[in-house]
């Protein structure tokens, strides 16, 4: 049975609330509105995927990728520096697999499906970071296995698409990762 068969998009506020609940149970101190509301999709261009266990119907994993805070902020301030690359980047913001379902390839299936959908959208750069409170050694290996360039601890994210994507006031993560998504 293919793991991809259980993946669907959270394209309603009710489905996104289910994802928010999984993230809230997985990550300590996550904002109650970490998943954008559907009404804000034009601004954030989110892709929210859910993985339901076929046998139990339980939400086993989920992921969110969307426009960066920097790009959204510039757009809201009507500054045009990021306009040419607004739809060419995405940030893998959150991804979680419920503890009972780990080790089954669900995270890998979510990453593959997200990359395919981002490619269809015309995204060319996909990046993110791992915070210090996570299992960084395991995550470093995971992202490298999926073709991301994983930067050493403390190394800043380089300019991608000719732009800086990290807020200067942001807390530094354990590490950044990024990849170029190639056109088909």
Q: What is the pLDDT of residues 86-122, one digit of tens each?
A: 999 999 999 999 999 999 999 999 999 999 999 999 9
Crossing angle (nearest 10°) for helices 136-145 and 106-121? 50
pLDDT in tens, 103-112: 999 999 999 9
Q: Where are the domains of the chain?
A: 3-180
pTM above 0.85, yes or no: yes
* Rg, Å, the chain Cα set: 16
H or E segment to which residue 127 belongs: strand 125-130
Q: Is the pLDDT of residue 167 over 90?
A: no
Rounded to whole angstroms, the Cα distance separating 85 from 126 reads: 12
Q: Does domain 3-180 have CATH number 3.40.630.30?
A: yes
Provide the percentage of residues in the chain whose pLDDT is more than 70: 97
Rounded to whole angstroms, the Cα distance separating 171 from 29 reads: 14
Rounded to whole angstroms, the Cα distance separating 51 from 109 reads: 9
């Amino acid at each position: 049975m293919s793991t991809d068969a259980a993946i669907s998009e959270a394209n309603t506020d009710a489905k996104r609330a289910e994802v928010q609940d999984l993230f809230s149970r997985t990550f300590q101190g996550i904002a109650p509105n970490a998943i954008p509301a559907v009404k804000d999709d034009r601004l954030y261009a989110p892709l929210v995927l859910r993985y339901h266990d076929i046998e139990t119907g339980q939400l086993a994993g989920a992921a969110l990728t969307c426009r960066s805070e920097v790009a959204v902020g510039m757009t809201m301030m009507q500054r045009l520096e990021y306009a040419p690359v607004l739809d060419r980047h995405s940030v893998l913001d959150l991804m979680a697999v419920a503890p009972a379902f780990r080790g089954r390839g669900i995270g890998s299936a979510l990453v593959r499906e997200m990359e395919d959908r981002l490619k269809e959208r015309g995204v060319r750069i996909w990046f993110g970071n791992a915070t210090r409170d996570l299992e960084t050694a395991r995550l470093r290996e995971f992202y490298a296995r999926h073709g991301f360039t994983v930067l050493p601890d403390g190394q800043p994210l380089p300019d991608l698409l000719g732009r800086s994507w990290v807020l200067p006031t942001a807390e530094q993560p354990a590490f950044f990762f990024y990849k170029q998504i190639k056109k088909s």
